[in-house]
Structure 1
Amino acid sequence: MASMTSPRRMVASALFVVLLLLVASSVCPCCAEMGTTRVAEARHCVSQSHKFVGSCMRKSNCENVCKTEGFPWGECRFHGIVRKCYCKRLC
């Protein structure tokens, strides 16, 4: 009678394989995309908001301020230890 592998060991092995695949696809993205057509992505130009005041905690607040500055998007990013509002548009 063949010995059965414990469920814990099987789960650990499966997680290891998934982790290995994730690492491999991030290290060599071209390997993960073999056989697919690459499409050029549009570049985003980013500028720190001139009107946003204070620490940026909500993306929606940042986006609203950026829209008043003529940008379609905005996002909070760390600038040192402080989160600032950065406005984005297609270049």
Structure 2
Amino acid sequence: MKVSLTLLLLVSLLFAAASNVEGRMCETPSTQFNGLCVSDGNCANVCKGEGFPDGDCKGIRRRCMCRMPC
């Protein structure tokens, strides 16, 4: 009984650690992107120039949002 409880605890800890590997992404508006954001690729390139690994066009106002792991 004690071994199975320990094994269950170990498996649940491994599952929790594996599900947290991806992590959260934090977003901030681009400071250098001008105009309406219609191309995710263009936004990502501008964000990379600002030191962020990625960027996407977001929201109704179509703003370029730069993303990075928190």
Q: 4+ residue runs of structure 1 moved beyond 6 angstroms?
A: none
1:28-39 alignment, distance < 5 Å: 37-38=15-16, 39=19
Residue aligned with 1:82, SS: coil
Residue number in structure 2 paired with 1:53: 34
Residue number in structure 2 paired with 1:86: 65
- Which is higher, the Rg of structure 1 or of structure 2? 1
Cα RMSD over matched residues?
A: 1.1
Q: Which amino acid aligns with 1:65?
A: V
Between the two proteins, what is the percent identity of the paired residues? 45
Residue number in structure 2 paired with 1:70: 51
**How many residues are paired up?**
53
Q: TM-score under structure 1 normalisation? A: 0.55
What runs of 5+ residues in structure 1 fail to find an aligned partner?
1-36
